[in-house]
Amino acid sequence: MEFCDLKRQYAAYQSELDAAIRSVVQSATFINGDEIRLLEEELAGYLEVKHALACGSGTDALLLSLLALGLCPGDEVICPAFSFIAPASMVALCGGKPVFAEVSPVDFNLDVSRIEEKITSKTRGIIAVSLFGQCAGLDEINLLAAKHGLWVIEDGAQSFGAAISGRKSCGMTDVATTSFFPAKPLGCYGDGGAVFTDNDELAATVRQLRAHGQEKRYHHRRIGINGRMDTLQAAILRVKLRHFDEELKVRQQAAGWYTSLLKGFVETPVVAAGKTSSWAQYTIRSKNRDELKVALAEKNIPSTVHYPLPLPRQEAFAKDVQPGEQFPVSGELCKTVLSLPMHGMITEEEVRKVAGVIVETVGKV
Ligand SMILES: *Cc1c(COP(=O)(O)O)cnc(C)c1O
């Protein structure tokens, strides 16, 4: 069994994907090809945002957003303590200080009641990661940010396709980013990402920043990076975007099967009323996590620990954490979470097999 079965997905869309790839190769427009503009239009339409800007990765999308927002050395940005490293590390790379805030044990996202205590006169913004596919409390976070004059970035690397009361992830904050890493809900065949915003000025700035700050060819308005997406990746994403909603339905169905089979044996994920998850991960919690992982591996079922260490405990952030600062919820999650096979082509039989091993193992320990 695969954790995320990209081979099955390729087989399903093979003729469309092969044609899209061949067309780019034949046109030889590997950089800034038409597919980039078309993908951007389709993404903006899908999310109902004004601007979608394709870029090299989800990490580049975060870096470009922070640069466009004018993050300066010494500026503080609030980031969740339990997350992938990219949002906090891009803050640090810009010379800013990631200030870690505790997450909620219910949805693994920023605990909104624990944000305000981290705001200082140096705070510029909040990066709300929408972890495992469910949006963070963006309405509450936006209100809090407005009250304190801060910007909000949603890191929607895992939540592309999710929604709050019908409003789509990546369209509810000043800026949002996503990743098209192959195993994300919408993935390409390499690295890719995008920045989304309704703000014309920010969009224009990101556009320049991703092309070495140039306003027109070889005329550089600002210092930027090479943060473009390859035309090939855009062509692949356009094919996959056409099938994305069907895959989302499969993920939602699979999550429902998992939950009904596993409830009472482990802690199953909770999606808040009004929210829909894109189920980037189906992540359970159990005090027997390590035994479960071994039992699954014995049956050739892959599972993953997202994430084994709270970010404030990472050596790379040693100087960004106050001595004695504690993150007990994040610490507990790191010891108990386990992500199970999940993708847009998973079958009921596969879900039953995974759940069967878990139920059996929990009965034994
Ligand atoms: C994957 C991921 C990223 C980084 O995306 P890349 O495309 O791998 O650079 C950023 N944030 C979160 C939450 C992610 O899951």
* Reported confidence tier of residue 365, pLDDT bands at 50, 70, 90: confident
Q: Are residues 254 and 121 in the same domain?
A: no
Q: Of 262, 270, 264, which Cα lies nearest the Cα of 107?
A: 270
Q: For position 133, what pLDDT does the model report? A: 98
Contacts (Cβ under 8 Å, ≥6 apart) of 236: 17, 20, 21, 188, 189
pTM as predicted: 0.98
The atom of ligand 1 lying closest to the CA of 158 is: 15
Ligand 1 near 155 CB (within 6 A): yes
Domain endpoint, select from 238, 272, 288: 238
Ligand 1 near 193 CB (within 6 A): yes
CA of 87 to the centre of ligand 1 (A): 8
Ligand 1 near 154 CB (within 6 A): no
**How many whole angstroms from its chain centre is CA 63?**
14
Q: Are residues 229 and 278 in the same domain?
A: no
48 pLDDT exceeds 90? yes
Q: What is the mean pLDDT of residues 177-184?
A: 98
Share above pLDDT 90 across residues of the chain, in percent, rounded to a whole number: 98
Share above pLDDT 70 across residues of the chain, in percent, rounded to a whole number: 100
Q: Are residues 251 and 103 in the same domain?
A: no
pLDDT digits (tens, 9 = 90+) for 50-104: 999 999 999 999 999 999 999 999 999 999 999 999 999 999 999 999 999 999 9
Q: Are residues 42 and 60 in the same domain?
A: yes
Domain endpoint, select from 179, 213, 238: 238
Q: Tokens 């906090």: give the residue.
A: 88
Which CATH number is 124's domain given? 3.40.640.10
Number of domains in the chain: 2
Ligand 1 near 132 CB (within 6 A): no
Pocket test for ligand 1, best of 130, 169, 179 (most atoms within 8 A of CB): 179
Pocket test for ligand 1, best of 63, 181, 278 (most atoms within 8 A of CB): 181
Answer whether 74's CB lies under 8 Å from 122's CB: yes
Residue nearest to atom 14 of ligand 1 (CA): 157
| 1: in domain | no
| 97, 168, 184, 275: the active-site residue | 184
Answer whether 327's CB lies under 8 Å from 102's CB: yes
| 178: in domain | yes
Q: Of 134, 138, 168, 132, which Cα lies nearest the Cα of 281?
A: 132
Pocket test for ligand 1, best of 184, 281, 283 (most atoms within 8 A of CB): 184
* CA triple 224-68-76, angle to 5 deg: 115
Q: For position 364, what pLDDT does the model report? A: 85
Q: For position 244, what pLDDT does the model report? A: 98
CA of 64 to the centre of ligand 1 (A): 14
**How many whole angstroms from its chain centre is CA 219?**
34
Ligand 1 near 129 CB (within 6 A): yes
User: Which two three-digit tokens encode residue 296?
Assistant: 């699954």
* Reported confidence tier of residue 108, pLDDT bands at 50, 70, 90: very high
pLDDT digits (tens, 9 = 90+) for 121-170: 999 999 999 999 999 999 999 999 999 999 999 999 999 999 999 999 99
Which CATH number is 318's domain given? 3.90.1150.10
Structural domain boundaries enclosing 309? 244-364
Residue 217's CB is within 10 A of a number of other CB atoms, namely: 7
CA of 365 to the centre of ligand 1 (A): 35
pLDDT digits (tens, 9 = 90+) for 199-223: 999 999 999 999 999 999 999 999 9
Q: For position 298, what pLDDT does the model report? A: 98
Q: Are residues 216 and 287 in the same domain?
A: no
Ligand 1 near 281 CB (within 6 A): no
Q: For position 362, what pLDDT does the model report? A: 95
Q: Are residues 109 and 15 in the same domain?
A: yes
Domain endpoint, select from 238, 256, 284: 238
Residue nearest to atom 7 of ligand 1 (CA): 58
Answer whether 231's CB lies under 8 Å from 30's CB: yes
CA of 54 to the centre of ligand 1 (A): 14
Q: Are residues 280 and 163 in the same domain?
A: no
**Chain-wide mean pLDDT for the chain?**
97
* Reported confidence tier of residue 233, pLDDT bands at 50, 70, 90: very high
Ligand 1 near 224 CB (within 6 A): no
Q: Is 216 a catalytic residue?
A: no
